[in-house]
A and B are shown apart, each in its own frame.
Chain A
Amino acid sequence: MNIEDKVIEIITREQHLEDGVVKPDSTFAELGIDSLDGVNILFALEQEFKIDIPDSIAQNMRSVSQVVDALTRVIEGRDVSDLVAMAKADSSAPSS
């Protein structure tokens, strides 16, 4: 199973959605995923792939494709600095 399929499977499971609802081009807004849901999905992905997704990029995930992109780069050990820069520009993080 490739990363995209796994991401879709995990989002479907964690959001308790029907199969087929989550698509590669779905946005979190379309799926009704709020900031806390997003944190939960990242937690499930970290558990699944045994990786750490840095907070600096985790807060900027807004779509399935962004998650797949970030995850692929983290898994492959590639540069994520542009994602970090994007996250810094967009400061809408979960608040207490």
Chain B
Amino acid sequence: MPGVRRVVITGIGVFASPGKETDTFFCNLLSARSAIRRIQQWDPSNLSVQIAAEVPDYTPTDFFPLKRLDLLDRFTQFGLLAAREAVKSSGIEISDEERTRFGVVMGTGMGGAGTFDDTYYNLYAKNETRLHPFTIPKVMHNAVTSQICMEYGAQGPALAVCTACSSAGHAIGEAFHLIKFGMADIMLAGGSDAPITYGMIRSWESVRVLASGNGDPSRACRPFSADREGMVLGEGAAILVLEEWERARRRGAKVYAELAGYGLSSDAGHITQPSVTGPARAIRMALDEAGANPEDVDYINAHGTGTRLNDAVETQVIKEVFKDHARRVAISSTKSMHGHVMGATGAVELAATVMAIERGMIPPTANYTRPDPECDLDYVPNEARQQEVNVAVSNSFAFGGLNAVLLVRRFG
């Protein structure tokens, strides 16, 4: 199609519980190794849910000078660290003339949750009358976008997207369109979240969707399995370098995959229960934009939270869109290993999806024990699968009924 700008992925950065860079992250996924464990950041003893997928052994001063750190909530730190790997892996250099064509879109669900928690503890529990003046610049949901812009001198289009569990999916999709429709040439896009705070776990506990699994945390999250008990919160960030194809070609960039389709929709139904039609429309929209047929899709990285409802409904969604091909397409939920990374999860999962194309290896759904009559498709249980992946879809279906679907394709 002459005149249509194509968008390719030329860099990946992941800073999450299974790995603090992309290779380790993906290798651990392929090994079906869950990063979910007892919470270490603070003492979870008086909670009924005491587990999460935390970034292990993380010391902020290993990465940031103290002065800088004063203004960085944990979610912003993760975003910056993912951005550093993404930019480095892309080998990209941005000239001064290009800075206004270079932008950032980041998704986050909870923003500076840790800073809020600490601040409100000081306010309500310790009766402090003065709160720290850096509270607002740290908690604001756009802090991570702005800090990445500042670190890289990105002066083009920049946004923070906040659509709960679909945040990163929408962020990457919007960044894709900014390039495709000519408003930018290079975008850093992804998501970051650090929701493992006492207040946040307590709040999620009350929704009754979290797996407790305190006895064996690594087995707690069992998406699509008949004995699944719920989701597990995770933290981290992932960022992709999106680049207009002609620019990437001129500099001889390594292309991981083409970002070819983006679909989004609203259920307009229930604030927490997913529908079938809303997500199905988002998947169809992504297929249409990419000019792909359902049967072209080799792999679906599912939203697959591990709750009773999500996994059954998502299975119906896939059957609705893919018809007979639903039984042939490989589907997995990597949340079984990296947890539900909230506003970052769509980016973490797209990174896994792109790596599946790159390596010809599909990461499994870990902890799968037995089939559920309501979840009767191929979920790549427990073992990675060597398989060429040419077209893949990554699903994000958020609380609030806001859906984002990304389609990536082997390039060239």
A residues sitting closer than 8 Å to B (CB atoms) are 15-16, 36, 39-40, 42-43, 46-47
Q: How far is the CA of A42 from the CA of B130 in the complex (A)?
A: 11
A89 to B82, CA, bound (A): 45
Tally chain B residues at the interface, Cβ within 8 Å. Answer: 9
B130's contact among A15, A36, A43, by CB below 8 Å, is which?
Answer: A43
Consensus secondary structure, chain B interface: loop
Residues of A within 8 A of B2 (CB): none
**Bound complex: CA A52 to CA B19 (Å):** 46
A40/B67 in contact, CB under 8 A: no
Residues of A within 8 A of B130 (CB): 43, 46-47
- Tell me the bound Cα distance from A47 to B129 in angstroms: 10
Q: Which residue of A lies closest to B66 (CB)?
A: A16
Pair B67/A15 contact, Cβ less than 8 Å:
yes
Q: Which residues of A sit under 8 angstroms from B251, Cβ to Cβ?
A: none
Contacts of A46 in B (CB 8 A): 130
- Residues from chain A with a CB closer than 8 A to the CB of B252 are none
Select B137's contact among A36, A42, A43, beta carbons within 8 Å: A36
Main secondary structure, interface of A, reads: helix
**Docked CA distance A15–B65 (Å):** 11
B133: chain A residues within 8 A (beta carbon): 36, 39-40, 42-43
B 86-115 binary contact with A (CB < 8 Å = 1; else 0)? 000000000000000000000000000000
Residue B250 at the A interface, CB < 8 A? no
Report whether A16 and B134 are in contact in the complex, using a CB–CB cutoff of 8 Å: no
Q: How far is the CA of A87 from the CA of B66 in the complex (A)?
A: 31
Bound CA span A43–B131, Å: 8
User: Is there a chain A Cβ closer than 8 Å to B126's Cβ?
Assistant: no
Residues of A within 8 A of B65 (CB): 16
How near does chain A come to B279, taking the closest CB pair, in angstroms? 38
A28 to chain B, nearest CB (A): 15
List, in ascending order, chain A residues with CB within 8 A of B132's CB.
Answer: 40, 43
Q: Contacts A16-B66, A40-B70, A42-B133 given; 16 further ones with Cβ under 8 A?
A: A15-B67, A16-B65, A16-B67, A16-B70, A36-B133, A36-B134, A36-B137, A39-B133, A40-B132, A40-B133, A40-B134, A43-B130, A43-B132, A43-B133, A46-B130, A47-B130
Within 8 A of A (CB), among B110-163: 130, 132-134, 137
Q: How far is the CA of A40 from the CA of B132 in the complex (A)?
A: 7
Task: Give every chain B residue within 8 A of A16 (Cβ-Cβ).
Answer: 65-67, 70
Q: Which residues of A contact B66 (CB under 8 A)?
A: 16
When distances are taken between beta carbons in the complex, the residues of chain A under 8 Å from B67 are: 15-16
Q: List 5 A-B contacts (CB under 8 A).
A: A16-B67, A40-B70, A42-B133, A43-B132, A46-B130
- List, in ascending order, chain B residues with CB within 8 A of A43's CB: 130, 132-133
| Bound Cα distance from A40 to B70, whole angstroms | 10
Q: How far is the CA of A42 from the CA of B137 in the complex (A)?
A: 17
Of chain B, the residue at the smallest CB distance from A41 is B133
* Inter-chain contacts of A15 with B (CB < 8 A): 67
A residues within 8 A CB of B137?
36
Bound Cα distance from A64 to B70, whole angstroms = 21
Report the Cα distance A40→B134, complex, angstroms.
7
Q: Kindly provide the distance from the CB of A41 to the nearest chain B CB, expressed in whole angstroms.
A: 9
Q: Which residues of B contact A47 (CB under 8 A)?
A: 130
A94 to B66, CA, bound (A): 23
| Chain A residue with Cβ nearest B67 | A16
A40 and B133 CA atoms in complex are apart in Å by 6
Interface-centre pick from B70, B130, B133 (highest chain A CB count, 10 A): B133
